[in-house]
Chain A
């Protein structure tokens, strides 16, 4: 609530600096600050080796299913008008999601070959994405106060992800079952180029201040180092929806 109040006060302050009923200006500098969500279905699975107890000659293996679901998004962008409605700019997005990775391990029986036990558990993982989006934009005014802006361009997305690298399990004689104890995790980050495209609709209260909403799609495939000599490619980005303040200078 304090954040909303501060935002309202900021809008009123900036609005007060210009004639209230003036027509919107194309301006030179378009600034937007928004908050919203990133909807995504970039969940993925990974397979890894599990350290066998007792130096068992039979390998233990595990898989982890990582949830990458809708999460909070912060967006900030600046466009510079070049000619008529044409502009170029840059946007920054940050998305974060925390969820439990589902882990399944297949661990060998210490007395018999090919008699694996299944161990299941979960561990908390965090996914963070930072995007830098270079954009070419075109703004179309609709009426006096409404502005529609389309944009597209290349993106650089970086992903920081918690990965499960090993599983600890407990077992006792006669070893017919094994139980999940904990998971060893590591955080890894990497970045790659992708693209973005989207649109922004703004309603200007004054010549300089308004509110707007944007929909942007960005995507990239990123190769993460999960462990020594092992990488996994994950999808980053998604549909980003956000609302916030729009300023024209």
Chain B
């Protein structure tokens, strides 16, 4: 968003993330048993030791390669996954991942049981195990559902067991049948039974579905239906608690927004949670992208970071950051400002405007999440032209998400080329179609050259976002007078894909507008080699806004 810089919070949250990530191995260690060895080499010597040891286990058959394939992220790297075996029987849950480069081991992680001793001769055969599971579950198992003989690590020792999954109309469970005496020694549900869908009222009074988690007798704003964890925290107006979380203190269960009857009525929480999900959906459906980092990093939104009623007692910096702003705080964390109480307004170049809760605008939420995408891809430096491109890309994708989910139009909750128009009324914050009335440039020759706003990262963003608009809709640039054909609204997907590819795959971190022009033209050639209209629209759009 427009007002204060979020650089401070990015740094703060990077530290927060480091703490969160370091907490995970600690909790895993707490569940380990005496004979379980966790492989996490801390030094080159450790790595060499484990290299030799895992090679020996592979030769002996104590480890068997399960999958071996080329690293999808780094060319030339090989990723191996190997399961531990004992007496020809797989040890359930014991495996090792190895990363190799030219045959040289770069990393190895895993959990194995070196001191394993168990009789691997089963007294119960597979058919009997199937019958036992059918009797227990009430399910009739098809012929393809064959039990697997495994060694199951238990707190008391190791059990030779038949592992078999059974589905009923209410559950999917893994069963482990003791291969010696036929008792079911362990079973667990593989069904995500906690997911729930509720009804939510948005900031603008609209009703939408919300994907949440049933927890006890209530519900909380944790999305279990999408691949990443998406959660929304209700900071209940506590700025200090908000700052604590942004500084890396653990999120408590009480921080997560909740509702008693799954009929959600806090619009700012509801819209933040729903729109974060929709933005994830857009990136997945349009670009086959899995979230911010393309690896389904957790997404966390913070709503109600302050109380509107505290406006007049809050310092300007807080007003600028937590009232009149929304920002991406790094590592999947977003904060949505609360806007202004009734009777308060701002005066921008287009006139007097009221501010509603910022999460109430789909393009605002998508804009902030796109900063996350940028962080994990081009990582455009948030300064001068690269910073303006960073902002522009967020506006482009924010608007694209609007067009993906909303009908085109000029009314509330309709798709258009205004930014934040649903919550900053009337008119929104910026216009990609006609930037000038907002005091923003529509042409490179009019770019802001001062030091404010990190070198005009917001104001100059409209040079690029206006080019995006022209490439889709066509039209004439008011400054240059040059006309652009555009691919037409029906083909907007083409331009969205071109800019997405250019900005996330080809763009360097310190790109200029000229580099942005070059990478998007290259992306058009890459994606639509036989459709010259796309490349022409992109090229002429950049030319029209004075970027050559």
Contact = CB atoms under 8 A, between A and B. Distances in A.
Given A55-B262, A174-B284, A182-B169, A113 B208 contact: yes
A3 interface: no
Interface string B188-202: 000000011111000
Contacts, number: 47
A174 B277 CA distance: 11
B197 A57 contact: yes
Interface string A35-72: 00000000000000000101111100000000000000
Interface string A166-182: 00100001110000001
B225 A168 contact: no
Given A54-B225, A55-B262, A173-B227, A168 B169 contact: yes
Contacts of B225: 54, 110-111, 173, 175
Contacts of A54: 195-197, 211, 225
B226 A55 contact: no
Nearest to B263: A57
Given A112-B209, A113-B207, A174 B197 contact: no
B163 interface: no
A55 B214 contact: yes
Contacts of A175: 225
Contact of B285 (A58, A110, A174): A174
A172 to B, nearest CB: 9
A55 B197 contact: yes
A110 B211 contact: yes
B534 to A, nearest CB: 26
Contacts of A110: 197, 209, 211, 225
B278 interface: yes
A174 B281 contact: yes
B398 to A, nearest CB: 19
A111 B169 contact: no
Contact of A57 (B198, B214, B285): B198
A174 B223 CA distance: 13
A235 B199 CA distance: 42
A184 interface: yes
Interface string A18-30: 0000000000000
Contacts of B208: 112-113
Nearest to A112: B209
A111 B195 contact: no
Contacts of B227: 173
Contacts of A58: 209
Contacts of A52: 197
Contact of A111 (B207, B214, B278): B278
Contacts of A182: 169
A57 B209 CA distance: 8
Interface in B228-281: 262, 277-278, 281
Interface in A145-195: 168, 173-175, 182, 184
Interface in B429-476: none
Interface of B: 169, 195-199, 207-209, 211, 214, 225-227, 262, 277-278, 281, 284-285
Given A52-B197, A55-B198, A112-B208, 13 more contacts: A54-B197, A55-B197, A57-B197, A57-B209, A58-B209, A110-B209, A111-B209, A111-B277, A113-B207, A173-B225, A173-B227, A175-B225, A184-B169
